[in-house]
A and B are shown apart, each in its own frame.
Chain A
């Protein structure tokens, strides 16, 4: 039978696709040999695979019968006799075991004990969640505040509207200890929390840098508004009001660090943060 012109066209296109794919493969090898280039590699890979794919699909369409074939479905559920036969075979085999009840009981308890024993390797995966969740390296008081390169901080090095991240001395790699030192302006009316009137020095206040929502560093200090904004979920804290959350999903204020000065005028922490840092957990308040 004479081929339809549509078939010839499809065949020609399939041939072109395969030819283009071949050329692209050679080009890919050349690109690789010459040192590689990501865009060229990606495009030539795409042309090789695309040419193969297009060619195969075109070939499939013209070469394969387009007629639709019907296949009967079999009933999925088995017949009543089949289910009965299965049940009786299983019961017959299982009866050999079922009769000795004591063994069945002991096997069950041994299995349960084995299952419980397997839990212990899981216990080795990590330490018991301990005091570390509620304490940082500031605990005990007296630690100097240092910047990331270990230098102590003096009050006068921080300008008005200035912010710097500090850690307890010797613990600049601790993930729970980053602290924000913020110098508020005298014109911004700072309202210390009750009992924390002595925690700030010359308008310099220290808060934990870890958001109480999911622990992201609260890196955005909006100096004019006196707000700390967390970029992860937009929790916003009022620096002038004990870092109380004023917008967003955080429910607790940022823990505050009581500040003091040592004999050299360097900033120190008088004690640990006012509450556990970072994201909250079940027994955080206990």
Chain B
């Protein structure tokens, strides 16, 4: 009888210990790459190929490009903004809710980075560059496509440079280094890691810039301003003029 109780107590103790046991965080690098490979084969290889070399359709079009040169930056950008996985490769990938959680994303990123020598994620130390310098870099390199206020802009043939109001600093850095889609690549020889961090800071500022003038009406410049001038301004003018110019009830009066 006592032996059975001891056995049960041991089993319960064992369960209790196991229940409080947490999986070991940050598994070894090879484990992460292996885990990433498993996820890759499941969710990505149909378009990007089993070895990440890309897949072409029978008539020669690219269903999924090669990922050999994507690197850490390219993979992080695509996965963390939800652009990948992509259902329709004809249209430009747009930001949406990421399909993978942070752990799976990290594994996939590690695997894709291992496929070649693509760009790494820069080491980001934000808050160090003066915002003025960072703003200048943004206006020189980013504003032509994304606009000076980060609201995005049109590219050729249906493509667009997306608005930056949802981009995190690490995503900005990843995009700069990886040059996803139509975006050019801003390598370490063109922008240092400090400059990249500065631009990420400025993009952060643009998410809530100084709008002391009032309603920002889109921050897209004279187009919405002209619309407001006509619809609100002239509209109000015509209301005033219709009120004043309207006939009020006649009163009996001597002719002057």
Contact = CB atoms under 8 A, between A and B. Distances in A.
A contacting B, Cβ–Cβ less than 8 Å:
yes
Interface of A: 6, 38-39, 42, 53, 57, 61-62, 65-67, 69, 148, 154, 156-165, 182, 217, 219-225, 227, 229, 231, 234, 236, 247
Nearest to A159: B187
Nearest to B248: A61
13 contacts: A53-B240, A57-B243, A157-B189, A161-B179, A162-B179, A162-B186, A162-B189, A220-B155, A220-B161, A222-B156, A222-B182, A225-B182, A234-B156
B145 A159 contact: no
Given A57-B244, A222-B156, A159 B190 contact: yes
Interface in B210-256: 212-214, 240, 243-244, 247-251, 253, 255-256
B253 A67 contact: yes
B162 to A, nearest CB: 14
Given A219-B144, A223-B183, 19 more contacts: A39-B214, A57-B243, A61-B248, A67-B255, A69-B255, A69-B256, A154-B189, A157-B187, A157-B190, A158-B187, A160-B69, A162-B187, A162-B189, A165-B140, A222-B155, A223-B179, A223-B182, A224-B181, A227-B156
Nearest to B181: A224
B187 A67 contact: no
Contacts of B143: 219
B159 interface: yes
A159 B214 contact: no
9 interchain residue pairs of minimum CB distance: A219-B144, A157-B189, A159-B187, A65-B253, A222-B182, A161-B185, A223-B184, A163-B184, A159-B185
Q: Is the interface of A mostly helix, strand, loop or mixed?
A: mixed
A217 B190 contact: no
A223 B243 CA distance: 57
B251 A65 contact: yes
B255 A162 contact: no
B153 interface: yes
Contacts of B213: 38
Given A65-B256, A67-B255, A222 B249 contact: no
A38 B243 CA distance: 29
Category for how many chain B residues contact A: 35 or more
Contacts of A217: 144
Interface in B96-125: 119
A272 to B, nearest CB: 24
Contacts of A61: 248
A220 B159 CA distance: 12
B253 to A, nearest CB: 4
Contacts of A222: 155-156, 159, 182
Contact of B249 (A66, A154, A219, A221): A66
A249 to B, nearest CB: 14
A162 B182 contact: no
A197 to B, nearest CB: 25
Given A57-B244, A67-B251, A67-B255, A236 B156 contact: yes
Contact of A164 (B157, B182, B190, B247): B190
Contacts of B119: 159
Contacts of B181: 224
Given A57-B244, A67-B251, A161-B184, A148 B140 contact: yes
Contacts of B190: 157-159, 162, 164
Contacts of B240: 53
Contacts of B247: 66
A184 to B, nearest CB: 11
Interface in B145-165: 145, 153-157, 159, 161
B160 to A, nearest CB: 11
A95 B244 CA distance: 56
A236 B253 CA distance: 72
A225 B156 contact: yes
Interface string B186-206: 110110000000000000000
A38 B156 contact: no
Given A42-B214, A217-B144, A220-B144, A162 B185 contact: yes
Nearest to A67: B253
Nearest to B251: A66
B250 A66 contact: yes
Contacts of B253: 65-67
